A and B are shown apart, each in its own frame.
Chain A
Amino acid sequence: MKKVIISLIMMFGIISSTSFAGTLVINTDTSDAAPKEAFEYIIKKFEEENPDVTVKWNVFDHEGYKQSIRNFLNTDPPDVANWYAGNRMLPFVRAGLFEDVSDIWKDSGWVDGNLSENMEHAKKSMTIGGKQWGIPYTYYQWGVYYRKDLFTANGISVPKTWDDFVAACATLKAAGITPITIGSKYLWTTAGVFDYLNLRTNGYEFHMDLTLGKVPYTDPKVQAVFDKWDELVKPGYFLENHAALSWQEALTPMVNGEAAMYVMGNFAVAPLKEAGLRDSNLGFFQFPEITPGIPMAEEAPTDTVHIPSKAKNKTDAKRFLIFMSRADVQEEINKILGQLPINKNSSVKKGDPFLKAGLNMLNNAYAMAQFYDRDAPAQMASEGMKGFQEYMSNPDRRQKILERLEKVRQKVYK
Chain B
Amino acid sequence: MFPTPIHQRPIVNQYVYKIFLPISLIIWLIPIFGILMTSIRGLGDITAGNMWGTPSEFLLFSNLYDVFTNTPMIKYTLNSFKVTIPTMLGAVALSCMTGFALANYKFKTNLIIFFIFIAGNFVPFQILMIPVRDLTFKIGLYNTITGLVLFHVAFQTGFCTLFMRNFIKALPQELIEAARMDGASEFRIFWKIILPLTRPAIAALCVLIFTFIWNDYFWATVLIQGDHAMPITAGLKSLNGQWITAYHLLSTGSIVAAIPPVIMFFLMQKHFIAGLTLGATKG
Contacts and interface: CB of A to CB of B under 8 A. Distances in A.
B13 interface: no
B244 interface: yes
A64 B47 contact: no
Contact of B48 (A64, A265, A275): A275
A227 interface: no
Contacts of A31: 238
Interface in B39-58: 42-49
A72 to B, nearest CB: 14
B47 A272 contact: yes
Interface in A359-378: none
Nearest to A271: B47
Contacts of B44: 271, 274-276
A276 B42 CA distance: 11
Interface in A113-145: none
Interface residues of A, number: 22
A255 B225 contact: no
Contact of A33 (B43, B45, B241): B241
A338 B85 CA distance: 43
Interface string A279-295: 00000000000000000
Interface string A220-253: 0000000000000000000000000010100110
B242 interface: yes
B42 A274 contact: yes
Given A252-B47, A252-B48, A256-B49, A271 B242 contact: no
A279 to B, nearest CB: 16
Contacts of B45: 275
B49 A246 contact: no
A35 B47 contact: no
A255 B241 contact: no
Interface string B237-251: 010011111000000
Given A61-B225, A64-B225, A275 B47 contact: yes
A41 interface: no
A34 interface: yes
Contacts of A276: 44, 48
B43 A271 contact: yes
A248 B225 CA distance: 28
A275 B51 CA distance: 13
Nearest to A274: B44
Contact of A256 (B43, B48, B242, B243): B48
Contacts of B243: 265, 267
A248 B244 contact: yes
Contacts of B173: none
A32 B242 contact: yes
Interface in A260-282: 265, 267, 270-272, 274-276
A35 B245 contact: no
Interface string A310-353: 00000000000000000000000000000000000000000000
A143 B230 CA distance: 38
B242 A34 contact: yes
A331 to B, nearest CB: 20
Contacts of B48: 252, 255-256, 275-276
A386 to B, nearest CB: 21
Contacts of A270: 244
B47 A251 contact: yes
Interface in B13-37: none
Contact of B70 (A33, A252, A255): A33
Given A61-B225, A64-B225, A274-B42, A32 B241 contact: yes
A203 to B, nearest CB: 29
A220 to B, nearest CB: 36
Nearest to A265: B243
B47 A248 contact: yes
Nearest to B49: A252
Contacts of B70: 33
Most buried by B among A267, A270, A275: A275
Interface string A185-201: 00000000000000000
A181 to B, nearest CB: 12
A248 B245 contact: yes
Contacts of A33: 70, 241-242
Interface in B241-271: 241-245
Contacts of A274: 42-44, 47
A252 B45 CA distance: 10
B37 to A, nearest CB: 17
B245 A246 contact: yes
A252 B48 CA distance: 5
A34 B70 CA distance: 10
Contacts of A275: 43-48
B236 to A, nearest CB: 15
B76 to A, nearest CB: 15
Contacts of A248: 47, 244-245
Interface in B195-254: 225, 238, 241-245
B234 to A, nearest CB: 12
Most buried by B among A64, A255, A274: A274
B47 A255 contact: yes
Contact of B242 (A35, A246, A255): A35
Contacts of B43: 271, 274-275
A252 B44 CA distance: 10
Contacts of B238: 31
A275 B56 CA distance: 10
A161 B241 CA distance: 35
Top 4 closest pairs, chain A to chain B, by CB: A275-B47, A252-B49, A32-B242, A267-B243
Interface of B: 42-49, 70, 225, 238, 241-245
6 contacts: A32-B242, A34-B242, A61-B225, A64-B225, A248-B245, A255-B47
Given A267-B243, A274-B43, A275-B47, 5 more contacts: A33-B70, A33-B241, A246-B245, A274-B42, A275-B45
